[in-house]
Structure 1
Amino acid sequence: MSEKLEVILVDIGNSSVKTTEVSQGIFREEMVWGSFQEVAKKYGKVPMMISSVRKIDANQLRDLDAKVLTYQTLMPITLDYETPETLGADRIAAAAGANEMFPDQDNLIVDMGTCMTIDLIDRSGTFRGGIISPGLKMRMKSMSHFTDQLPDISNEWKKINSVELGKSTKECLLSGSYWGMIHEINGVMSAMSRNFTSLNTIITGGDAHFFESKLKAHIFAGSKIVQKGLYRIWKYQ
């Protein structure tokens, strides 16, 4: 690390830990880690801004220059949410990132991970609320888990013919999971556009690339939207 690092942006999700190094406002390549302990060992005293959907043991932060994003963190957006203490840090960071990337628009953020979240931040920078529903694999696994005879297709779904009307049980399970999410997203986009005429839809998350070509007008943001939001909030402190 010849160049001095400004901050390490850490996104701790349900299934992975992602980091991005920032030097003089320039984002370096995203890295994926097995645990936060690995990140702490690698970066030591470098400042960190952390978004986590999991609880972080305070002992892990004791010797680090780290800020953990919560609803109480000073931030450049407003949270119009009745239970802000329950609002995921990843959703807050994504909203801050969307508002910075597209500041004069109402932004609908579709995050496709373990769960799927659809959140709205309006052009004034106010987080207006959202939707949480099962993600792709969770839908597949749950149908098998809560029934006696339906199979779990979560590890083989890419090999199954993807059609809206299935001709086999596995095709039907895939249709309900995959096409069900597509129609859910398009339905929310249509409903929100009636009240927010400048609606800009952004898709992100680990499963987003599976859906990119099937959705109505949208912008694919990869994972950078959370990192941009984290950096924006870190600078705002």
Structure 2
Amino acid sequence: MTNNTEVILVDVGNSSIKITQVIDGQFSTTEKVSDFKELASLHESSPMIISSVRKLPADILGRPETIILSHKTPLPIRLDYETPETLGADRIAAAVGAHELFPDKDNLVIDFGTCMTIDLIDKTGVFRGGIISPGLRMRMNAMSHFTDQLPDISEEWQTLASGDLGKTTKECLYSGSFWGIIHEINGVLRTLSKDFTSLNTIISGGDAHFFESKLKAHIFAGSKIVQKGLYRIWKYQ
């Protein structure tokens, strides 16, 4: 670890822990660690800001020079949300990151993770709310899990045909999951564009690249949107 590290940005998702160093304002390549013990041992004395959708262990919560992002953290945006205590820290960070990148736009942030989230941050810096629905693999898993005979295609879906209508049961499950997400997002874009004419669409998450070319909008790929938001929040403190 170099001595001129400003801060370690930590994004704890449902399936991974991603860390990014910021040194002299420059973002390093994002890396993954296996668990919280590895995170603590690698960056024992560096300042951190953490966005987590999981419960954090006591040694991380009590760590010095560490900000655990929540709705109570001072933010450079305003949350127009009736239950801010339930708003995921990753969604807050992504909204801040979007507003930092495109301050003159109404930004729609779509994250293709375990769950799919769609959040709107307007050009005045107000988080207006969002949508949560099952992610791609969750849809595929759920149809198998909650039925007796439908197969789980979550590990093989990329080998199946990509037409709107399936010709086999597996292809039908694919169409319902993959194309269902596309039509869902395009419907949201069509509805919100009536009131937000400068709508800018930012996509992120592990499955984002599967959908980028299928959406009816100009897309900005925000691979580090959460990290950019975390850094902006850290500087705001």
Same fold flag (TM > 0.5): yes
Asked whether the equivalents of residues 3 and 23 of structure 1 are also in contact (C-alpha less than 8 Å), the reply is no
Rounded to whole Å, the distance in 2 between the matches of 1:189 and 1:11 is: 27
Asked whether the equivalents of residues 20 and 30 of structure 2 are also in contact (C-alpha less than 8 Å), the reply is yes
How does 1:54-133 map onto structure 2 within 5 Å? 54-133=54-133
1:221 deviation in Å?
A: 2.5
- Deviations, residues 214-236 of structure 1 (Å, cap 9, x unaligned): 11223233431100000000000
Count of equivalent residues: 237
TM-score by length of 1: 0.97
Rounded to whole Å, the distance in 2 between the matches of 1:162 and 1:22 is: 40
Asked whether the equivalents of residues 40 and 64 of structure 1 are also in contact (C-alpha less than 8 Å), the reply is no
Q: Percent identity?
A: 68
Rounded to whole Å, the distance in 2 between the matches of 1:137 and 1:32 is: 21
3-state SS of paired residue (2:5)? coil
Rounded to whole Å, the distance in 2 between the matches of 1:207 and 1:63 is: 33
Rounded to whole Å, the distance in 2 between the matches of 1:109 and 1:22 is: 23
Rounded to whole Å, the distance in 1 between the matches of 2:63 and 2:193 is: 47
Rounded to whole Å, the distance in 1 between the matches of 2:136 and 2:98 is: 23
How does 1:147-158 map onto structure 2 within 5 Å? 147-158=147-158
Counterpart for residue 29 of structure 2: 29
Asked whether the equivalents of residues 116 and 135 of structure 2 are also in contact (C-alpha less than 8 Å), the reply is yes
Counterpart for residue 134 of structure 1: 134
Q: Which runs of 5+ in 1 are unaligned?
A: none
Q: Which runs of 5+ in 2 are unaligned?
A: none
The letter for the 2-side match of 1:187 is G
TM-score by length of 2: 0.97
Asked whether the equivalents of residues 208 and 222 of structure 1 are also in contact (C-alpha less than 8 Å), the reply is no
The letter for the 2-side match of 1:229 is G
Asked whether the equivalents of residues 203 and 220 of structure 2 are also in contact (C-alpha less than 8 Å), the reply is yes
Rounded to whole Å, the distance in 1 between the matches of 2:139 and 2:2 is: 46
